[in-house]
Chains A and B, each alone.
Chain A
Amino acid sequence: MTAATTPAGSAPSTPAGSAPSTDAVGSATVDTATVPPISGDATASVVSGSGGVVTTALNIGPIEAEAASAVQGGLAAAHAAIWTYGLISAYDPDDIGTIRAARQGNTQIRNAATDLLRTAGVEPVRTEAAYAVPVAVTDRPTALQLAIVVEKDCTNAWRAVVGTTDNLQLRSYALSALSDAAVRLTGWRVLAGVAPATVPFPGNETA
């Protein structure tokens, strides 16, 4: 399964969820002695007049242009996942609780990535009206197959973010998103009966 969810009408050869051209796997140079400094801060505040609604403002400081582009890839993957889980839920009522949890997880990632990009001065990509999916969903097995593709796209996107930045807070955020997607991916593979259930290097998959 190499194809990924793409915005409807766009060229299917460019996965929306995969990392752009910034995948760190292809990097040839490395400086292991370079440990990036800590930057940015995170704050939480109660919205006045909201009755106690707590919002978080993640200010991670400046990020590299390449990293911002990679985060856009992660955000696009989250947008696609949220939309696609709506389609999946229509064909897989047996796993509706898992679908809801996965959609909620991607929604949180989407919201955080949107805030993160805005605080970095980058306009976040918007969701598409519809997405072309690489699996013709007709029943539960094909719905599970599509869910696997969705989360694989997310792992690819967030792993790429880690490899493009020296900002430690952004790395930490991307690692959380990557780990969450890897766990969801494993869950879908278990439900689909795919063996093995785990993959050794989440985010580094082309198949």
Chain B
Amino acid sequence: MFALAGCDAFGGGTPTTRTVIQEAPPPVDPIVTLIATTRLHLARIDAALAAIAADAAGVAKLTPIRADRAAHLAALVTEQARTSNPDGSVSASASGAAAGPPQIEMPADATAAIAAIRVDAENAQVQFTDGVAATAKYRSAIFASISACLASHRSVLI
């Protein structure tokens, strides 16, 4: 009877069940989200600059912030391309070239617009801080540097 059932009294023979070990999927690379966030915030700064164009002081405050965020986006896209495309080329979706300009409305009041951009900086700082713990050394240093820059943005966007 044991022989017919494919086993014996001592647990030997061919096992009747198989254990399949399935590995967890690899963690999502945070740089994808960080690029999207930076691109969105850059578009919001552009919209804010257009909305408060008549306010010279407000424009003067946001213009260097925009330059920093543009530098962040360029660095992030380059870093992503460096590790995902061996030839170093950047896809249209990664560079944002294929996407049209988003329609974003920002307050015409400079104080309100600057406050909104400050909130963006706070949110982005949280994301980049989280990203520091979720990636390897080299990339985490880039995220850390951008996170620190965003902290400094918060200190001047007042």
Interface residues of A (CB under 8 A from B): 24-25, 27, 29-36, 155, 159-160, 162-166, 168, 171-172, 174-175, 178-183, 185-187, 190, 195-204
Residues of A within 8 A of B71 (CB): 200-201
The 3 A-B residue pairs whose C-beta atoms are closest, nearest first, are A163-B141, A196-B64, A182-B148
Give the interface residue-count category, chain B.
35 or more
Nearest residue, chain B, Cβ from A202: B148
Most buried by B among A186, A187, A190: A186
Q: List 28 A-B contacts (CB under 8 A).
A: A24-B137, A25-B141, A30-B82, A30-B136, A32-B139, A33-B26, A33-B136, A34-B136, A35-B27, A35-B133, A35-B136, A159-B141, A159-B145, A163-B137, A163-B140, A166-B136, A171-B132, A172-B132, A186-B152, A187-B155, A196-B68, A197-B64, A200-B67, A201-B145, A201-B146, A202-B145, A202-B149, A203-B144
CB distance from B132 to the nearest CB of A (A): 6
Nearest chain A residue, comparing its CB with the CB of B145: A201
Could you tell me the distance in whole angstroms from the C-beta of A61 to the nearest C-beta in chain B? 14
A175 B129 Cβ-Cβ under 8 A: yes
Q: Which residues of A contact B129 (CB under 8 A)?
A: 175
Q: Which residues of B contact A27 (CB under 8 A)?
A: 137-138
Question: Per-residue CB proximity of B24-57 to A under 8 Å, as 1/0?
Answer: 0011010100000000000000000000000000
Interface residues of B in 107-158 (CB under 8 A from A): 129, 132-142, 144-149, 151-153, 155-156
Given A30-B83, A32-B83, A187-B155, A163 and B138 touching (CB < 8 A)? yes
List B residues at the A interface (Cβ < 8 Å): 26-27, 29, 31, 64-65, 67-68, 71-72, 75, 82-83, 129, 132-142, 144-149, 151-153, 155-156
| Additional A-B contact list (17), CB under 8 Å, known A162-B144, A198-B152 | A24-B138, A27-B137, A32-B29, A32-B83, A35-B27, A159-B141, A159-B144, A160-B141, A171-B132, A180-B151, A186-B152, A198-B149, A200-B146, A201-B146, A201-B149, A203-B144, A203-B145
Establish whether residues A182 and B149, one from each chain, have CB atoms under 8 Å apart when the complex forms.
yes
B136 touches A155 (CB 8 A): no
Q: Which A residue's beta carbon lies closest to that of B63?
A: A196
> Which residues from B are CB-within-8-Å of A201?
71, 75, 142, 145-146, 149
CA distance A27 to B144 in the complex (A): 16
Contacting residue for A30 out of B133, B138, B148, CB 8 A? B138
Task: Assess the A165–B156 pair: CB atoms within 8 A.
Answer: no
Please determine whether B139 and A183 come into contact, CB atoms closer than 8 angstroms: no
Asked, given contacts A159-B144, A163-B141, A204-B145, whether A32 binds B135 with beta carbons under 8 Å apart, the answer is: yes
- A187 contacts across to B, CB distance below 8 A: 155
Contact partner of B72 (CB less than 8 A), chosen from A32, A180, A200, is: A200
Whether A175 contacts B148 in the complex (CB less than 8 A), given A32-B83, A33-B26, comes out as yes
Q: How far is the CA of A146 from the CA of B153 in the complex (A)?
A: 22
Q: Tell me whether A162 and B139 are in contact (CB under 8 A).
A: no
The answer to whether A32 and B133 have CB atoms under 8 Å apart is no
B137 contact set on A, CB distance < 8 A = 24, 27, 30, 162-166
Whether the pair A172, B133 counts as a contact (CB closer than 8 A) is yes
- Give the docked Cα–Cα distance between A190 and B155 (Å): 10
A198 touches B134 (CB 8 A): no
Task: Tell me, in angstroms, the Cα distance from A203 to B147 when the chains sit together.
Answer: 11
Please, which residue of chain B has its CB at the minimum distance from the CB of A66?
Answer: B137
